[in-house]
Chain A
Amino acid sequence: MPIFDQGYQHWSGELTGHGLRWLAITRHGVRIGMKNRLLRIALLIAWLPAAVLTFSLCVWGLLEQKSDLVQPLVPFLTGMLGPDVVNNPKAYRVEVWTLCYDYFLLTELRFSMIVVLLVGPGLISRDLRFNALPLYFSRPLRRIDYFVGKLGVVVVFLGSVLVVPSVIAYVLGLLFSLDWTIIRDTFPLLLACVGYGAVMSVSAGLLILALSSLSRNSRYVGLFWLAVWFVSSIVGTVLTGVNEEHRMRQTYRRAVEAERAAQAERPPKSPEDRQRQAASRQEAQRRMWADLQREQREAARSDWRPLFSYTANLSRVGRHWLGADASWEKLAETVPADERDRYLLENMGAQYPWYWSAAVLAVLFGLSICILNFRVRSLDRLK
């Protein structure tokens, strides 16, 4: 009868390739992340806009079918979008779907920042603090596997907030409209959402990893992330606001000077003259506002100030890929001509070329890679 050795037994299997090594790190990170109650609550709350999106798409699908279920909502939709749009839902299907997704992604952008704040700061900073890097790199694990694994944690959580709800809402919207031509019309939208989700996840993920590698204290990393998010937004808003105020004052000053010049040329001699001048002043003011709005729309095409805001850059790239601007322009055709500029100004947002934002994100991408490469060395020295 053979007697078996009860001691250590050597493993004689084969190691898997490097292709999936990072998955172990990602899985572990996700498991740890899900133990955080605050994160679970944040994810739950982040799904609420997805519910609203799904509801909106389903309502539009039912509207296309002229279902009685949505009749109570028709007055509300008419007030929001105008009778032309509501009476021809199929003709404006792409635009409405695009704008629903646009608002959804804009809202989810903010929730994503919060999710990254809850998940990201400790990813590398804790490994540095507790000197866990030798535990990783003493195994057959390359630095790229480590980075991809850590990035995967952020991508999983952001994907569950951005991409998964987008896809589910799309499928449900499809089912509620019972019209397969929707796929032909809106499939690029789905691709744009997935692509935007990927860009958002990779950009935010790499940035938080880079910040996380800069400090051993995850609290400071969280605060740095807040600074990147809030402070950059405020900087962009302040600069844009001051610029707009400056332009308004210039336009106003031009109008006032023109008015004064006109009054100096033809001073009023009679009450009728004064009435005529008052009417022409009102007309001049109306023209001034119209000119101002047009100038603002023109200036928005080259206004670089929003580039200071990290979230504005992400949003700009997303809006371009979705085609939100084209949708607003089509909806603006249903608005009276004299209100069109104001309508577009209020709804379209930043108009500078989207590739400027893409360039900013690319620079941040490169900077993050450099920081990670510099800060995370194989077999980091003890303390």
Chain B
Amino acid sequence: MKVLPEARIAPAAAAARPRPSGRLNLVPLWALYVLTLRQHLHGRRWIVMGVLFLLPAGLAVLIRATAPDAPAAVVEFLLAFMFIPQALLPLVALVYATGIIQDEQEEQTLTYLLIRPIRRWAIYLVKLLATLTTTILLTAVFTVLTYAAVYVGGASEGLNVPRRCLTAVGIHGLSVATYCCLFGLIGLYTRRALVAGILYTAVIEGLLANLPFGLRFITVIYYARIMAYRSMDFTFTDHGRKVDLAAGAWQIDVRNDPGLLDQPSLQTCALVLTIAGVVLAAFGALFCARREFHVKTPEGS
């Protein structure tokens, strides 16, 4: 059996065309980062997220209109430290992070990434980084809007509102980043990432975090709450009575442990969440590096 003779030699013009260099090239990584940001921001998804995130600010306006006597500190606590971290942060992380690879796989556009000179773990990490950028930005903007809705035009009751706002942005940002790393990993492991994420949020974050012992150490919201409690004052004086909003709601036993010696320090909490995020991201990258992605074709499906 003969084979065909070799094809003719390529024309000279082709040799002058620029080719990617063989050295470490950040261009594909940057291009992937920008592409992922564009994917997050195009279409209706970010509008829906924006509307959801506007809810706390909207609620603040509604509360101030209908119950003007409600202390701003109470409204701030309910919206910025109960509503946002328990409902909105896990939701936004679920929306963006579970689809890091899954969306590309379902849309069958993952092929275009796999056939580029980008390592598989780098594909995952860069897309995760872009997801973190989007979610942290959304969280920051809408936390600031919430604080504006709570405090602008009203009494700040002696509180340093900009500092509180910045602290809240920092804590929420770290929390949503950890959620994104977690849900990104879940999205790689299972197609039912949504259900797994909801179960995690409802059972682990929702139930375990409210236990006054042990198991709450595995929840993100516990560390976020301790960081908030250590860096901000949640007490306010109501007709001579001092009310600690957070201690009761968050099951922090300040009566027997007023100095919070049994709770981790601010730095420890930040470190735990950061390390957890890094470890989860690393696991995701490792899994992505070794896994095959079956992009459906009519033949293979």
Q: What residues make up the interface of A, taking CB atoms closer than 8 Å to B?
A: 38, 117-118, 214-215, 217, 219-220, 222-224, 226-227, 230-231, 234-235, 238-239, 241-243, 245-246, 249-250, 252-253, 256
- In the bound complex, residues from chain A placing their C-beta under 8 Å from that of B194 are 219, 222-223
**Given known A222-B194, A223-B91, A234-B83, contact A239–B239 (CB-CB < 8 A):** no
A38 near B192 with CB under 8 A, answer yes
CA A235 to CA B193, docked complex, whole Å: 26
List which B43-95 residues lie within 8 A (CB) of chain A.
44-45, 48, 52, 55, 59, 62-63, 66-67, 69-70, 74-75, 78-79, 82-83, 86-88, 91, 94-95
Interface residues of chain A: helix, strand, loop or mixed (majority) = helix
A243 near B66 with CB under 8 A, answer yes
B91 near A238 with CB under 8 A, answer no
- In the bound complex, residues from chain B placing their C-beta under 8 Å from that of A234 are 83, 86-87
Closest 9 CB pairs of A and B: A246-B67, A246-B70, A222-B194, A219-B194, A242-B63, A242-B70, A234-B87, A223-B95, A238-B78
A266 CB, nearest partner CB in chain B, Å = 21
Q: Say yes or no: is B284 at the interface (Cβ < 8 Å to chain A).
A: no
Which chain B residue lies CB-closest to A121? B194
Which chain B residue lies CB-closest to A38? B195
A242 near B91 with CB under 8 A, answer no
Which chain A residue lies CB-closest to B78? A238
CA A252 to CA B243, docked complex, whole Å: 14
Which chain B residue lies CB-closest to A214? B44
- Not counting A238-B83, A241-B78, a sample of 18 additional A-B residue pairs whose C-beta atoms are within 8 angstroms of each other reads A117-B195, A118-B195, A217-B106, A219-B98, A220-B45, A224-B48, A227-B52, A231-B55, A234-B83, A234-B86, A238-B78, A238-B79, A239-B66, A242-B75, A245-B74, A246-B69, A249-B69, A256-B239
**Given known A38-B195, A241-B78, A242-B78, contact A249–B91 (CB-CB < 8 A):** no
A239 near B59 with CB under 8 A, answer yes
> Pick the contact of B91 from A38, A117, A231, A250 — CB < 8 Å?
A231
CA A249 to CA B71, docked complex, whole Å: 10
A226 near B67 with CB under 8 A, answer no
> Pick the contact of B55 from A235, A241, A245, A249 — CB < 8 Å?
A235
- In the bound complex, residues from chain A placing their C-beta under 8 Å from that of B275 are none
Number of B interface residues in the complex (CB < 8 A): 36
Q: Say yes or no: is B257 at the interface (Cβ < 8 Å to chain A).
A: no
A200 CB, nearest partner CB in chain B, Å = 21
A243 near B239 with CB under 8 A, answer no
- In the bound complex, residues from chain A placing their C-beta under 8 Å from that of B74 are 242, 245
- In the bound complex, residues from chain B placing their C-beta under 8 Å from that of A253 are 239
CA A242 to CA B56, docked complex, whole Å: 13
- In the bound complex, residues from chain B placing their C-beta under 8 Å from that of A242 are 63, 67, 70, 74-75, 78
Candidate in B86, B98, B193, B239 with the most chain A CB atoms within 10 angstroms: B239
Can you list 19 contacts pairing A with B, beta carbon distance less than 8 Å? A117-B198, A215-B44, A217-B99, A217-B106, A220-B95, A223-B91, A223-B194, A226-B198, A227-B52, A227-B91, A231-B88, A234-B87, A238-B79, A239-B59, A239-B62, A239-B66, A242-B75, A243-B66, A245-B74
List which B28-54 residues lie within 8 A (CB) of chain A.
44-45, 48, 52
A292 CB, nearest partner CB in chain B, Å = 15
**Given known A223-B95, A238-B78, A242-B74, contact A249–B238 (CB-CB < 8 A):** yes
Q: Say yes or no: is B103 at the interface (Cβ < 8 Å to chain A).
A: yes
CA A223 to CA B52, docked complex, whole Å: 11
A239 near B195 with CB under 8 A, answer no
- In the bound complex, residues from chain A placing their C-beta under 8 Å from that of B45 are 220
A132 CB, nearest partner CB in chain B, Å = 15
B99 CB, nearest partner CB in chain A, Å = 7
B103 near A231 with CB under 8 A, answer no
B83 near A217 with CB under 8 A, answer no
B87 near A243 with CB under 8 A, answer no
Q: B226-259 CB contact bits vs A (8 Å, 1 = yes)?
A: 0000000000001100000000000000000000
CA A217 to CA B99, docked complex, whole Å: 10
Which chain B residue lies CB-closest to A246? B67
Which chain B residue lies CB-closest to A219? B194
- In the bound complex, residues from chain B placing their C-beta under 8 Å from that of A239 are 59, 62-63, 66
B59 near A235 with CB under 8 A, answer yes
CA A48 to CA B86, docked complex, whole Å: 28
- In the bound complex, residues from chain B placing their C-beta under 8 Å from that of A38 are 192, 195
CA A214 to CA B44, docked complex, whole Å: 10
B22 CB, nearest partner CB in chain A, Å = 38
CA A342 to CA B171, docked complex, whole Å: 40
B147 CB, nearest partner CB in chain A, Å = 16
- In the bound complex, residues from chain A placing their C-beta under 8 Å from that of B239 are 252-253, 256
- In the bound complex, residues from chain B placing their C-beta under 8 Å from that of A117 are 195, 198
Candidate in A219, A234, A246 with the most chain B CB atoms within 10 angstroms: A219
CA A272 to CA B98, docked complex, whole Å: 71
- In the bound complex, residues from chain B placing their C-beta under 8 Å from that of A252 are 239
A305 CB, nearest partner CB in chain B, Å = 8
CA A23 to CA B198, docked complex, whole Å: 32
Candidate in A215, A220, A224 with the most chain B CB atoms within 10 angstroms: A220
CA A75 to CA B38, docked complex, whole Å: 65
Which chain B residue lies CB-closest to A234? B87
B179 CB, nearest partner CB in chain A, Å = 14
B103 near A217 with CB under 8 A, answer yes
CA A262 to CA B131, docked complex, whole Å: 62
CA A189 to CA B72, docked complex, whole Å: 46
CA A256 to CA B238, docked complex, whole Å: 12
CA A38 to CA B190, docked complex, whole Å: 13
B67 near A230 with CB under 8 A, answer no
